[in-house]
Amino acid sequence: MAEITGGCKKDRMSGNEAVAYAMKQINPDVMPAFPITPSTELPQFVSSYIANGEMDTEFIPVESEHSAMSAAIGAEAAGARTMTATSSAGLALMWEMLYVAASNRLPIVLALVNRALSGPLNINCEHSDSMGARDSGWIQIYAEDNQEAYDNFIQAYRIAEHKDVMLPVMICQDGFIISHGVQNIELLEDADVKAFVGEYEPEHYLLKKDEAMAVGPYAVSGYGMEAKRAQAQGMIDAKQVILDVAAEYEKVSGRKYGFYEAYRLSDADCAIVAIGSVCGTIKDAVDELRADGKKVGLLKVRVFRPFPGEAFAEALKNCKSIAILDRAESFSGCGGPLAAELSAALFQAKSQAGVIRIVYGLNGRDFTVSDAKELYQDLEAEESRKNVQNETYRYIGLRE
């Protein structure tokens, strides 16, 4: 039984349970979904809530993830608040429709439980699925733990449905590490969530009486580029909306969010930049090294799309050396997706810091406190700082 204290409920939940609970509290109109590990529990929980009379969402069982996103597009275009969930190959099967959803400016929210894309076949955590979709036009927000997964999902509709944005949002959590790991978290009261999220009142939709419109028409050459530019503007405008929604959410929850979290970073000489659950491990390493007098810190990326490169570069401006961690392989000369984009942002900011680009944790391989401490040791080494500019990227935890 959950404990009720001061407007919140304290409970123990896995990441999947927490996100499903947020789904129940929001109670959207439609959820099309197809099961895939490790996100299968999300439609299971929702269908149970519906069967028990706790939600009146219309659940649509479909034959594939491509159909799930197609149904989500149809429902949202018709004027219904819509959500879905998937992982890994399920997201890949949605690929075509991800672009359709974003280009049609449909504020769908997708709960993505990050899992490696084949091959080799693997069901463990990796960011190759979401990073592969990074240019599809979806906003992407990542969580470090179960609490953040819950909080991020509640904020998602306020961001997606804002008139200056009107873009779909992908709320990402690490497979198994967050999705199946159980933590103590705080849940908002149902009434507070409903008041915060509000009712969905779209301005234009297919079933609106006396309004004729088309969704997703063929874009001839004279119009298609302008449509894409307008879509890009929605992504640009989303930056301020994300911050505004986070500020409002802090008043309701007491929990503060932004583009990133700066952990003991203000006076750090050496910093690691990372996404997701690994940040908890890195924080432990930072605390241990700080106890030994080392000036080290962490920049935890929460928002990857839109990419707030200027804000990241500003947060890192005092660092002499930086390690950028990616849980996805891009097969590029610049490391993973985060390393490539942040390196460009640091270059634009005229940063003089040495940068080490790291690929880690593929197919669920562990990244430990010892790994983080060794990486900070590399960042501190004067010889390392001199040589990193000639290095493309390296792996951590690789068996040679």
8 A C-beta contact, residue 287 and residue 262: no
Q: Is the backbone of residue 11 left (phi > 0), alpha (psi -120 to 50) or beta? A: beta
Distance CA(257)–CA(243), nearest Å, equals 8
Q: What is the mean pLDDT of the segment spanning 227-256?
A: 98
Upstream peptide bond of 107 is cis (omega within 30 degrees of 0): no
* Mean per-residue pLDDT over the chain, rounded: 95
The pTM of the full predicted model, rounded to 2 decimals, is: 0.96
- CA torsion 128-131-136-139 (nearest 10°) is 130
Distance CA(306)–CA(140), nearest Å, equals 7
Instruction: Grade residue 385 by pLDDT with cuts at 50, 70 and 90.
Output: low
* Rounded alpha-carbon distances, angstroms, from residue 321 to 48, 210, 295, 350: 50, 60, 11, 14
Backbone angles phi, psi at 172, to 5 degrees: -110, 140
The string of pLDDT tens digits covering residues 205-225 is 999 999 999 898 899 999 999
8 A C-beta contact, residue 159 and residue 165: yes
Instruction: With a cut of 60, say whether residue 387 has pLDDT above it.
Output: no
53: Cβ contacts below 8 Å, ≥ 6 apart: none
Instruction: Grade residue 5 by pLDDT with cuts at 50, 70 and 90.
Output: very low
The string of pLDDT tens digits covering residues 252-283 is 999 999 999 999 999 999 999 999 999 999 99
64: Cβ contacts below 8 Å, ≥ 6 apart: 34, 93
